[in-house]
Structure 1
Amino acid sequence: MVSKSRMYNWYIAMVAAGCMVLYGYDAAVFNAVQKNEHWLSHFNKPQGNLLGLINTSYSIGAIVSGWFIGGPTADFLGRRWGMGIGCFITVIATLIQAFAPRHQVGVFILGRVIIGIGQGMALTAGPCYIGEVTAPSIRGKVMSFWQMFYSVGSFIAYWVAYATAKHSKALGDWDWRMVVIFQMLVPLIIIVQLPFMPESPRFLAKKDRIDEARAALRSVRDTEQEVEDELLTIREAITYEREVVSSSYSALYKDKSIRKRMALAFVINVGQQLTGQGTLNSYSSTIYKKVFKDIDTINLINALNATCGILFTLNATWTVDRFGRKFLFIVGAIGMAMCMLIVPIIGLETPGNETKSQPVGIAITAMLFLFIFFYKPSWGATTWIWTAEIFSMNVRTQAVGMCSQMQNVAQCIFNQFFPTFYANCGLKSFFFFMTTNILLAVFVYFMIPETKSVALEEIDVLFGGANHTEKGGDLLHVEDAHHAHIGVDNVAGHEDKISPVVQHEQVPAKELKI
């Protein structure tokens, strides 16, 4: 039977994971409205580079926020404030987009830039919060829902677009405005629930609010021993980082192992977009238009794709902590490469240039759905899981913000020229994605260490760094760096002298093998 504290852990993690709905919705919303006749008329039928600018303006705001705003906000005010402020900005930006004056496409672009800033903040604090409140044994499983909520965002956007398109004449401009304005729903739900959630115990410990950190851990751990053991390892890691490495962001370039992690995470997050998923999510309507002429059919396919995305992501829930992160990365990349090979072969070897027959269209669509089947639990979910868990406390939020926004850097660049690339090469452009996926599988096999079930404070050793828990224990003169003695004062909620306790079954980080 699942304990009350474990259920509560899942609940607060799911609220934080809701931040990803913002990203999934926004990634789908422009794809949903860019072929809408009322939206095109409202903004003087933007084409070419202007259309690309509208699409990438969100990424510009998100990149600025992820690199310069999200990390400091979450580290100074807390993870909950980072999520809350990001959600609030998203609500304001949604209103700016929805009620942009007629023929003033600049206002719509401004709204997309601001929404990127808000989401950059929420997407920095959210995964850090989940990783910091969740036990190592289920961290991957819980974090897999982060990507699933991306699919939930796309699911809502595409089904709202499908429903409003069915009543387009009656709704007028409200057919696209409703698609945009629904983006307010989840941020408002998150804002309402944040005051009832504990702050990250690791943030509280870093601020020397030890009693509050202990109380936060008690709400999500089953026993007092678990609470004290984890609090001890947190304090040891923080002590080592303050006294030996650096408590500031300067560790991003001072610590060789962190530099290595940054480089690897940059490649993984850029690679996520170059698998083909980012482009398909933004331009699937354009691709499907070469196969299907009916806009309702295209909207329905996008909606069904988002629905299947939710189901496919759930595969990560039972695989990521069982088979590990590397396994999912490699299998996912190989599967996607196979799909990106078959799609252009079907298109190039069947009759028709401008349009294809319905059976050919169905075959291409089926392969793109299979692509999503491989992508969602692997390079979709696992990229976020791996990125959020590999950094030490002193740089975690800043590093996660910077690395995750490399997705938007890659998407911003690639989406600018993909329309031209696709217009000139058609389905042959998919061979690029096939090659990229093969290279990513090779990269992961040789370069990426497995992080499954490793405590956050002990991951550094996998990348050639010191064991922050054991080194911090030495500085605190603790005989057993992994276990704390529970004294009377501890139970009462007061600090007690740290001392060793009977060993529990645990594999020290120094014995872990890459």
Structure 2
Amino acid sequence: MGSILVMENFEAHFPGLTGSTIQGWLVAALELGAWFGALFNGYLSDRISRKWSMQVAVIIFTVGTGLQCGAQSGNMLFAGRVVGGVGIGMFSMVIPMYQAEIAPPQLRGSLVSLQQLSITVGTCISFWLDYGMHFVGGTHCDPAGVPGEALNSAGTLEPYIAHGHTCLGEKAISWRLPLALQLIPAWILFFGMFFLPYSPRWLMMKHRDDDCIAALSKLRRLPADNNLLRAEYLEIKAAVMFDEETEAEYTSYAPQIFEGFGFTSVTTDLLATGVTGILQILFTLPAVFFLDNFGRKTFLITGAIGMCMCHVIVAGIDGTYENSWPTHVSAGWASVAFIWLFAVNFAYSWGPVTWVLTQEIFPNSMRSRGVSIVASTNWIFNFVIGLTTRDMLASMKYGTYIFFACFCAMGGLFVYFVVPETNNKTLEELDVYFGGDDTSIAQADRERMRRIEEELGLAGLQVEDFGTEKKGAVQEAEHGAESVNVQ
């Protein structure tokens, strides 16, 4: 939307949306809708499943996108942004949770990181699509019947004069088509979900044991009577039983627990933004490939340090040359370079890793609600930042970068001192892990889990005990594949 706002055809259609304040609200409207969508989907994904809540999100997102690409007034565009944002917020909450719940522990970080990679790929495509569509028919509106009069003394378009006149240059398709194309990945998701199973953990929460085993069998490509698969099924069942008993005991306390919780050219701007998108794609890949090798804390702390340093350097450059940019063009490009470097540090760390960690810190019974609160918090702060940053830059100037640098530094310190490493642990292990270690976890919880494990025949067993079974199953699958190839 940021790239579309500066297109002259768009300005001629919506002259009332050219002020910085109203544009801030238009951009932030999506985050406001996303905040509600993420919060609402915590309930819905528990109620109708992770799978079907994604389908509902696609429908809502489609309505919002239709309102945006077909908008004839500013109000219609605002409504589309809010409705579309609800769908996006629902996606942001349920997709990484579904990925985490279907993934084996050793691949969970990489698979959940793929969401952030998909986001950066989509963002990059949208930037370059906007850049290309910016040239459709020309880069200027050239309104029919008002030659010259539509331009001010600086040679830029006067939207109110151009409004109501057909643009002979830049076409409406320049901004309507990019908005409409959002529907393609949404509907790929919609139809693709018909081929994927329900979350095994959600099925177990609904006491659909046979369906849980069938879903695990499809996901792990193992027969239903495989010992390794049965062990995973029983671990999930034990965790769900533990959470249900704990929740039943403490549900009078649940409400209190949650209550406590310098470049002016449009073309140059679009080009610079497109480079940012490419860098974000490239540097999201380290999280996908190496997150499960080096751990969550390493990526988060390194990224926080990098982002903080970039903010400080940009603040220093801007503070030094803020009144002399025309004679210090190289300094301006240096600032842009460190903004790009900031995007790089975000792309491999806080962008993907925080979503991975979010899926790992809540017990099974509260995961959807917890994730929805985290996701909605993310969107409400996106809303606040989108609404205020423009004014902060105007009033605080380089101090804005110092402000955000402080938060990056605090984030790194928080991770170092407070956040535990969650790498390569099953979600069920983490339920206990976050309650404390073997010496500090509550005796009642320890006894409850021990009793449930004995009841299910899991007492004293480790997943490693089934390593031989797993190796045999893999060899059997490979032999079957070779047989098929021979035939």
Checking the alignment, whether the CA contact within 8 Å between 1:245 and 1:251 is kept in structure 2 is no
- The equivalent residue for 1:56 is 28
Instruction: Provide, for residues 99-142 of structure 1, a one-character-per-residue CA deviation record: whole Å limited to 9, x for no partner.
Output: 111xx211111111101111222222211110010011111111
88-97 or 218-227: bigger deviation: 218-227
Task: Classify 1:164/1:469 alpha carbon distance in 2 versus 1 (closer, same or farther; 3 Å).
Answer: farther
Change (3 A) 1:351 1:442: closer
CA contact (8 A) 2:312 2:405 kept: yes
**Which residue does the alignment assign to 1:422?**
393
Per the TM alignment, residue 502 of structure 1 is displaced from its structure 2 partner at its CA by 8.8
CA distance in 2, matches of 1:469, 1:76: 29
Preserved contact between residue 237 and residue 469 of structure 1 (Cα < 8 Å): no
> Separation in 2 of the partners of 1:76 and 1:482?
34
Render the CA deviation track for 1:229-282: whole Å, top value 9, x for unaligned. Answer: 11101111111222232499877547x6xx69x95xxxxxxxxxxxxxxxxxxx
Distance 1:183-1:251 versus aligned 2 partners, 3 A rule: farther
Counterpart among 425, 428, 432 of residue 457 in structure 1: 428
Q: Which moved more, 1:69-78 or 1:47-56?
A: 47-56
Provide the rounded CA distance (Å) in 1 between the counterparts of 2:250 and 2:133. Answer: 49
Alpha-carbon distance, 1:222 to partner? 5.2
* SS class of match (2:363): coil
User: What are the superposed Cα offsets for residues 197-248 of structure 1, whole Å, 9 maximum, x if unpaired?
Assistant: 1111111111111111111111222552221111101111111222232499
Identity of aligned residues (%): 28
Name the stretch that deviates more: 81-90 or 469-478. 469-478
The letter of the residue matching 1:207 is: K
Q: CA shift at 1:450, angstroms?
A: 0.9
Q: Pick from 153, 156, 175: which aligns with 2:122?
A: 153
Q: Partner of 1:488 in structure 2?
A: none
Shift of 1:407: 1.2
8 A Cα contact 2:234 2:458, kept in partner: no
**What runs of 5+ residues in structure 1 fail to find an aligned partner?**
1-29, 264-289, 485-500, 506-514
Output the amino acid matched with 1:226: L
Aligned-residue RMSD, C-alpha: 2.6
In the alignment, which residue of structure 1 is the partner of 2:451? 474
CA separation of 1:233 and 1:133: change in aligned 2, threshold 3 A: same
Counterparts of 2:4 and 2:455 in 1: how far apart (Å)?
61
Q: For residues 414 and 382 of structure 1, what CA distance do their matches in structure 2 show?
A: 21
- Specify which of 211, 215, 237 is matched with residue 235 of structure 1: 237
Aligned residues: 427
Write the distance in 1 (CA, Å) between the matches of 2:384 and 2:63.
Answer: 27
- Structure 1 stretches of 4+ with a deviation exceeding 3 A read 168-171, 246-254, 350-358, 465-473, 481-484, 501-505
Deviations 1:411-456 (A, max 9, x none): 2223222211101232332111111111111111111111111110
Sort the Cα spacing of 1:93 and 1:370 in 2 relative to 1 into closer, same or farther, 3 A. Answer: same
- Over 3 Å counting, the alpha-carbon distance change for 1:361 and 1:297 in structure 2 is same
Q: Which residue of 2 aligns with 1:503?
A: 465
One-letter amino acid of the counterpart of residue 428, structure 2: E
Amino acid at match of 1:232: L
Letter matched to residue 48 of structure 1? S
In structure 1, what is the Cα distance between the partners aligned to 2:106 and 2:389?
A: 41
Taking the aligned partners of 1:107 and 1:127, their CA distance within structure 2 comes to 31
Task: Name the structure 2 match of 1:185.
Answer: 184
Structural mapping, 1:117-128, within 5 Å: 117-128=86-97
Check 1:247–1:419 CA distance in 2 against 1; reply closer, same or farther (3 A cut). farther
Contact 2:38 2:91 in 1 (8 A): no
3-state SS in 1 of match to 2:294: coil
Shift of 1:378: 0.9
Quickly say closer, same or farther: Cα 1:65–1:249, change in 2 above 3 A.
Answer: farther
Give the aligned partner of residue 331 of structure 1.
302
- 1:92-111 equivalences in 2 (<5 Å): 92-101=63-72, 104-111=73-80
Cα distance change, pair 350–49 in 1 and its aligned pair in 2 (3 A): closer
CA distance in 2, matches of 1:52, 1:437: 23
Aligned in 2, Cα 1:334/1:202: closer, same or farther, shift over 3 Å? same
CA distance in structure 2 between the aligned counterparts of 1:168 and 1:131, rounded to whole angstroms = 46
Q: Report the counterpart of residue 134 of structure 2 in structure 1.
A: 165
Using the size of structure 2 for normalisation, the TM-score is 0.82
Q: CA deviation at 1:57?
A: 1.3
Check 1:58–1:107 CA distance in 2 against 1; reply closer, same or farther (3 A cut).
same
TM-score normalised by L of structure 1: 0.77
For 1:480 and 1:412, the matched residues in 2 are separated by: 47
8 Å CA contact retained: 1:91, 1:184 = yes
